[in-house]
A and B are shown apart, each in its own frame.
Chain A
Amino acid sequence: MGVFVNYACLFRLLLWANALTFITAVNIASDATELSGDRALNRPSSFISVPHAFQPDSFRQFLTLGLSDAFPEDMEGTENCLELLSIFGQRYVTLANCLVSYARPVKVCQNCYTDYNNFENIYKNISSDQSGPGNVSCQDSLLWSDRLMLLPSLYSGLRDIWESAACTNCLTAYQMNLSNETLNFLAKLNQSLICFDKYQQGNHSELCKKCKTAYKQLDELYSKMEGNKTLCIDIEDAMNMTRQLWSKNCSSPRKEMVPVIAVSSFMLFLPIIFYLSNYLHSEQKKRKLIHPKRAKSSHSLMNIQDKFS
Chain B
Amino acid sequence: DRGLDPGTPGSCPGLKAGAKLLVFLLCFQITELCGAKRVGYFGPTQFYIALKLIAAAQSGLPVRIESIKCELPLPRFMMSKTDAEIRFGNPAELHGTKVQIPYLITEKNTFKRMDDEDKQQETQSPTMSPLASPPSSPPHYQRVPLSHGYSKLRSSTEQMHPAPYEARQPLVQPEGPSSGAPGAKPPRHKASLIRSFSVEREPHDNSSNYPDEPWRITEEQREYYVNQFRSLQPDPSSFISGSVAKNFFTKSKLSIPELSYIWELSDADCDGALTLPEFCAAFHLIVARKNGYPLPEGLPPTLQPEYLQAAFPKPKRECTLFDSYSESMPANQQPRDLNRMEKLSIKDTADFPVPTQDVTSDDKQALKSTADEALPKDMSEDPGRRKPLYYIFISYSSTSIEEAMKRGEDPPTPPPRPQKTHSRASSLDLNKVFQPSVPATKSGLLPPPPALPPRPCPSQSEQVSEAEIHPQLNRAPSQVAESSPTKKDIPHSQPPSKPIRRKFRPENSATESQEPPSTVGPVSAASGKPHAAVQKQSSKQKKAIQTAIRKNKEANAVLARLNSELQQQLKEVHQERIALENQLEQLRPVTVL
A binds B: no
